[in-house]
Amino acid sequence: MAIVPSRRLYINGEWTEPIRKNRIPIINPATEQIIGHIPAGTSEDVELAVEAARKALSRNKGGDWSRASGAFRAKYLRAIASKITERKSELAKLEALDCGKPLDEAAWDMDDVAGCFEYYADLAEALDVKQKAPISLPMQQFKCHILKEPIGVVGLITPWNYPLLMATWKVAPALAAGCTAILKPSELASMTCLELAAVCQEVGLPPGVLNIVTGLGPEAGAPLASHPHVDKIAFTGSTATGSMIMSTVAQLVKPCSLELGGKSPIVIFEDVDLDKTAEWTLFGCFWTNGQICSATSRLIIHESIASKFLEKLANWAKSIKIADPMEEGCRLGPVVSEGQYNKVLKFISTAKSEGATVLCGGGRPQHLKKGFFIEPTIITDVDTSMQIWRDEVFGPVLCVKTFTDEDEAIELANDTRYGLAGAVFSKDLDRCERVSKALQAGIVWVNCSQPTFTQAPWGGTKRSGFGRELGEWGLDNYLSVKQVTEYTSDDQWGWYPSPSKL
């Protein structure tokens, strides 16, 4: 068992007791036991963190983060990546203890975290080369170039399903761009983000470049979003909170990027390999205990193979190893909290009361008496008006509908107010291409579901939010583009005739 470190807030490069001295218990969702505490920051602590970030952004005499070269910043990002790799197994254990994801998944996350810091180190260096890119203009007497400049102080608000990875998707590009940041992780899983603070301190990241204020959403997240000296908010979480943040930042005409919920479709045609497709279907919905914004949780399957496929899928789902995340071979752990557990069970009971059928799962696994465990659940006889079809469950629950032709499949797939992701399965690649184009989503997987790469853009449409993380788009999230236009002619501009000539 990993030792749970006792940490304070990380502000201006120092461990800082929260001003109101409050703490939030850390509950291991597999045992329901309190295993430690995190500091509960409030607006007073946010104030200090913003001040520190502002100072770090533009300290005098060239020592500041925003005006340093990309190569200078890349050195720190690489040092962070290598410390994360060194501490991988300890960090993975903390992550699994905190949010309940299987240890193997948490270890995978840590590799992605290190990879993401490395990737943005490269992009920080590339920024030095790209500066002063000329723009060709139609008037010869003008010369123009662009400068890509850091947006400034950024507020990063993140969720609990990939605690350190979601933070990294924001922290790494923000720092690479030359921004300074205040990170507010989820109160349900903040431990690894506080360890990131320890890593930053160890590598000597200049004080104030990254500040970490843990605490409750309304107490620590809201004052960050509304702070007049924070130049941008990047948020991942629920659509309800995202929408609230958007109206807050609107008052200050402050930009924000939002990565919100989803109810993503997985469309399966009649020509697929049943085994391969069934495994991806399970992975697409039950990976990370079903708590993934991009979960392909609406299965839309051709009616001719539905019964055979569902029988296979249900048998396979029943064989998934549900256990304490620390246990060897665990493939499904508990959901993150008691609140989430009750919310998911309520979704299942509402679906039943609305007339749907639970094909498999539906409740607590018999062999686990404690912990917020829920069996992988598949729900059939679903109508498009039902809550289970329309709303994001954020738990291991898949709902199913059948279709007869491609047009109907697309219509069902797009029958959602969300638009984060979608998956299509067929051996006919022309058909896959047609469906990929027709899906209203920011991410489409063909013959797979969920694989995510740091190099490729990530984000949604419709109520799944806007803005793209990862890849070069992730860096652009934290850059502002300035044009510099110079008049180079020796001649008078000549719009107003010179008074001497009148």
Contact yes or no for 151/179 (Cβ under 8 A): yes
CB of residue 432 vs ligand NAI: minimum separation in angstroms?
Answer: 26
Q: Does 261 bind ligand NAI (CB under 6 A)?
A: yes
Nearer to ligand NAI, 158 or 211 (CB): 158
Query: Which partner, Mg ion, ligand NAI, none, binds residue 189 by CB below 5 to 8 Å per kind?
Result: Mg ion
Strands, E assignment, 109-178:
133-135, 142-150, 153-157
| Smallest separation (angstroms) from ligand NAI to the CB of 130 | 31
| 181, HSE (Cβ side, Cα atoms, 13 Å) | 30
Q: Does residue 254 belong to the site contacting ligand NAI (CB under 6 A)?
A: no
Binding to Mg ion by residue 189, rule CB under 5 A? Answer: yes
CA angle at 308 for the pair 303 and 312, rounded to the nearest 5°: 130
CB of 465 to Mg ion, least distance (A): 24
Pairing of strands 479-487, 232-236: unpaired
How big is the site for ligand NAI, counted in residues (CB under 6 A)? 27
Residue 260 binds ligand NAI, judged by CB under 6 A: yes
Query: Is residue 236 involved in binding ligand NAI (CB under 6 A)?
Result: yes
39 binds, among Mg ion, ligand NAI, none (CB under 5 to 8 A by kind): none
Binding mask 159-188 for ligand NAI (x = CB under 6 A): xxx----------------------x-xxx
Q: How far apart are CA 87 and CA 105, in angstroms?
A: 16
Nearer Cβ to ligand NAI (18/207): 18
Q: 206 near 181, Cβ under 8 Å?
A: no
Question: Considering the complex, what minimum distance in angstroms separates the CB of residue 299 from ligand NAI?
Answer: 19
Q: Which residues contact 178 (CB under 8 A, 6 or more apart)?
A: 65, 66, 67, 68, 70, 73, 149, 150, 478
Nearer to ligand NAI, 64 or 392 (CB): 392
Q: Is 192 in the site for ligand NAI (CB under 6 A)?
A: no
Q: Encoding tokens for residue 267?
A: 């469309």
- CB of 43 vs ligand NAI, minimal distance in Å: 11
Q: Is 256 a catalytic residue?
A: no
Q: Which of 96, 103, 157, 258 binds ligand NAI (CB under 6 A)?
A: 157
Beta carbon nearer to ligand NAI, 245 or 268: 245
Residue 96, both tokens: 């699994």
The angle that helices 406-413 and 429-438 make with each other, rounded to 10 degrees, is 40
- Catalytic residue among 105, 118, 195, 259, which? 259
User: Measuring CA to CA, which residue among 168, 148, 145, 149 is closest to residue 158?
Assistant: 168
Per residue, what are the HEC states of 212-236?
ECCCCHHHHHHHHHCCCCCCEEEEE
Q: Nearest to residue 154, comparing CAs of 232, 95, 78, 91? A: 232
Query: Which has the closest alpha carbon to 56: 67, 64, 45?
Result: 64
* Residue among 99, 116, 256, 293 flagged as catalytic: 293
Size of the site for Mg ion (CB under 5 A): 3
* Identity of the amino acid at 88: K
Can 259 be counted among the known catalytic residues? yes
CB 356 within 8 A of CB 380: yes
Q: Among residues 45, 64, 95, 98, which is the contact residue for Mg ion, using CB under 5 A? A: 98
As annotated, the active-site residues are 259, 293
Query: Under the rule (CB under 6 A), what is the footprint of ligand NAI?
Result: 157-161, 184, 186-188, 217-218, 221-222, 225, 236-238, 241, 244-245, 260-261, 293, 340, 343, 392, 394
Q: Which residues bind Mg ion (CB under 5 A)?
A: 98, 188-189
